[in-house]
Amino acid sequence: MKFELVAIFLLSTIFGIWPDSADAATPPAYEASKRLPLEICEIDNVDEPLLCGVHMVFENRESNSGRRIPIKVVVVPAQQERTTDSAWIEHQGGPRFSMVASAHLFAKGGFLEPFRRARDIVLIDPRGLHQSGPLYCEALKVPRILERYYPPDKVKACREELSKRADLKQYSTLNAIEDFEEIRRWLGYRKWDVGGWSYGSRFMLTYLHSYPESIRSISLIAPSILNFERPRDYARFGQQAFDRLVDDCRNDEACHARFPNIAGNLQMVLSKLETQPAKVEFTDPHSGMVVTRELSRDVFAESIWIALLRTSEARQLPFILEHAAEGNFAPFLDLAVPTSAPPSEPEGHYFSVVCPEETGRLDIGKAADSAKDTFVGTYIAQDYMDACAAWGLPLNPSHPIEPKRFSVPALIVTGKQDPVTAPEYGEIIARHFENGVHISIPHMAHSVSQMKNAECFTQFLSEFVEAGNSKNINMDCPNSLRPPQFRLN
């Protein structure tokens, strides 16, 4: 993403938004620049000027010396006169996603634009991610397709490469939170309204425990718990999500007539692949070459689990499993193989957070107990544990964090068909809020976005933040969310 500082006159030429008359509105960034220590900037795919800046922090916060990391900050300013001295920040999870890259969603014409009506949106890429000293490595540059996703030899090579230019122990959740808190003070906001998705929820819950006085409200969507042991419950929650998907099909006349034995088809495919892996061909989106893979039982099961993450893909599974049971993997490949090359991810950041804070605390016995009688089994758990052993960072002594009880208003939303963060996580979190509400949405997987009528969710969330109270929440939007139709042919 390109950022460029330009003069106001040049901006007016580029965007075509300079007032044609005294009655035309001046873009909000110009007024906001008077109160924020940031510069007017141009961002690709955004049709208005925004505000950008870099906050330099020490990599090693304890020593307060040595290497510095640039933390990228973008502000999408309030459209109207602000009614609050708080601002919205979010963490979209992973930990791998860029918050800065979502600026176009909040800016002019974006579907989240209503959210900045009366408050600033502050987008920060945490240390080690994307525009904030990203921890990319050559060994894991190309995402793996239909093969072991975290081969230990490549994970070890990634760490060896990055260790030459970064102290990987310094990219923890707590250090990133210290960066965010510095940025709050630097920008002059009294409080944050925070939103967290998946791991981003653990990030924001940890922020709340560290700086409760800095948080005005907290919104947690598909949340992981404070003391998450990734991926202990992936197999169990995946089985729950699959079973509920089967129930959905059974209660859908057309789906049940077309696919009367979904669970049986899955078991048939898994049994065949366990006996004899299938050879499949597909076009590699990176090289453009046709490649051949041996499709194993475990990789197929993991791919089905991944499909359950997205509601629209989950609704294709009855169709895919029927064809796979007949030996036709073409529909499966259409779903599992991307048509264009996925972007590289800063995997060094991912392992430097996940391994010492989450997976490092898991043992295979716990994973096996949780995975009993599931189609995934212990494959995903073993993949993570082997990868973290190769990464080699010691456990972070600051984790786990003992949960506290808070009066901060909290909105917690889970999906009943989520294979990662099932509703029981929402129930655990809700117990620690005096002013909290947990809403569990039927048929929803790990995101609201692929549900029908999902566009209402922005307004729903905005109303909660504006009210600053979880009481008397209007449930019209959550109650109106529906899944896509099942794929029948």
Looking at residues 200-224, what average pLDDT do you find?
97
Alpha-carbon distance of 431 to 323, in angstroms, equals: 44
Average of pLDDT values for 265-272? 98
For 43-103, give the DSSP string: ETT-SS-EEEEEEEEEEETTTTEEEEEEEEEEEE--SS--S-SEEEEEE-STTT--SGGGH
pLDDT band at 2; cut points 50, 70, 90: very low
Residue pair 140/158 in contact by the 8 Å Cβ criterion: yes
**Contact assessment for residue 452 and residue 484, using Cβ atoms and an 8 Å cutoff:** yes
How far from 477 is each of 226, 349, 441, 460, CA to CA, in Å? 27, 36, 10, 7
DSSP 332-385: HHHHHS-SSPPPP--HHHHHHHHHHHTGGG--HHHHHHHHTT-SSTTHHHHHHH
* Residue 293 DSSP SS3: strand
- Euclidean distance between CA atoms 66 and 324, whole angstroms: 55
What single-letter amino acid sits at 360? G
Does the structure show a pLDDT above 70 at 1?
A: no
Residue 168 confidence class, pLDDT cut points 50, 70, 90: very high
Q: What is the pLDDT of residue 449?
A: 86
The pLDDT of residue 447 is: 92
What pLDDT sits at residue 13? 29
Structure tokens given for 161? 């490469």
pLDDT reading at 19 higher than 50: no
What burial class does residue 3 get, using C-beta atoms within 10 Å of its C-beta: 0-12 exposed, 13-18 middle, 19+ buried? middle
- 85 backbone φψ class: left, alpha, beta (φ>0; ψ -120 to 50): alpha
Tell me the C-alpha distance between 400 and 232, whole Å: 15
Determine the Cα angle at 364 with ends 362 and 365, to 5°: 100
- DSSP string across 189-239: -SEEEEEEETHHHHHHHHHHHH-GGGEEEEEEESPPPTT--TTTTHHHHHH
Kindly state the average pLDDT of the residues 194-220: 97
Q: What's residue 342's pLDDT?
A: 84
Q: pLDDT grade, residue 35 (50/70/90)?
A: very high
Q: Dihedral sign, CA of 172, 364, 310, 307?
A: positive
pLDDT of residue 60 exceeding 90, the answer is yes
Cβ–Cβ under 8 Å, residues 271 and 420? no
Q: How many CA atoms does the CB half-sphere of 302 hold within 13 Å? A: 20
| DSSP letter (8 states) at residue 321 | H
Q: Give me 37's structure tokens.
A: 């220590």
State residue 343's pLDDT score: 86
State the pLDDT at residue 143: 85
Q: Tell me: the pLDDT tens digits for 296-339?
A: 999 999 999 999 999 999 999 999 999 999 999 999 999 999 98
Query: For residue 309, which of 410, 437, 413, 421 has the smallest C-alpha distance?
Result: 421
Phi-psi region at 284: left, alpha or beta (left = phi > 0; alpha = psi -120 to 50): beta
C-alpha to C-alpha distance for 11 and 25, rounded to whole angstroms = 15
pLDDT score for 21: 31
Residue with tokens 């490949």: 333
Could you tell me which residues are beta bridge partners of residue 123?
74
pTM for this prediction = 0.92
User: pLDDT tier at 80 (50, 70, 90 boundaries)?
Assistant: confident
* Segment 398-407 mean pLDDT: 92
pLDDT tens digits along 439-468: 999 999 999 988 999 999 999 999 999 998
For the residues 385-413, what does the mean pLDDT come to?
Answer: 95
